[in-house]
Amino acid sequence: MPHLALYTFGVLKSPLADPSPLTREFHESGEAAYREIAQQPGYLARAESADRSLGARTDFDADWGDWGEFVVPAWYGKGRTVETIALAATLSLWADLRPAFDAIYGGLHRGALNRRYDWFERTGHPGHVFWWVSGGVIPTWQDGVSRLEHLHDHGSAPHAFTFQHPFAADGTPTSVKGAGPGATGCTVQP
């Protein structure tokens, strides 16, 4: 059974190590949102460093195990050290599109999305990308970066897509009906 991979990437207005209230607020709200998302039906897993003592979710030197080496899109031009890194990236697996939609556009994460422009720069690049993987396959950070760059260059396609222009596992266009948490399944467009 295929699973849905999701890669997100954003460039922060200030480094994660910045002690400013805005950076602390982003980090604290993100941690709570991730804990809530991990409890959602349809959530399968997310990339986490094998050495959680590093304290950063996105660390170039961390051991990410089967999720591969941590990489970022070519257009990211800010810091790459613990003191200067100014990005937030996630890589996760979902059972299907509907549970991902409900988790991302509901609860604490919805509140964080409403504040995203307080924390993130507007880069002109997509902030997320989905693609289907075979059951048992763990996507890598490189897969996510490649799909995000493909989405930016070519738009939504079965290879790399967004919530706004999604595709079913068989490659057919689909939609997420009922644009809110609790709405029922995805349906194929005619």
Round to whole Å and give the CA distance between 31 and 160: 27
pLDDT of residue 178: 56
Asked whether 145 and 68 are in contact (CB, 8 A), the reply is: no
pLDDT at 41 over 90: yes
For residue 24, the model assigns a pLDDT of 86
Average pLDDT, the chain: 88
Residue-level pLDDT at 185 = 39
Q: What is the pTM of this model?
A: 0.90
pLDDT, residue 187, reads: 39
State the pLDDT confidence band at 60, using cuts at 50, 70 and 90. Answer: confident
The answer on pLDDT for 170 being more than 50 is yes
Q: What is the mean pLDDT of residues 70-93?
A: 93
Under a CB-based contact definition with an 8 Å cutoff, are residues 64 and 138 in contact?
no
Query: Residues 169-178: what's their mean pLDDT?
Result: 88
Confidence band (pLDDT; 50, 70, 90) for 114? very high
Closest by Cα among 87, 90, 83, 62 to 19: 83
Give CA–CA dist 79/73, Å, rounded.
Answer: 13
Query: What are residue 58's phi and psi, to 5 degrees?
Result: -125, 100
Kindly tell me if the per-residue pLDDT of 121 is higher than 70: yes
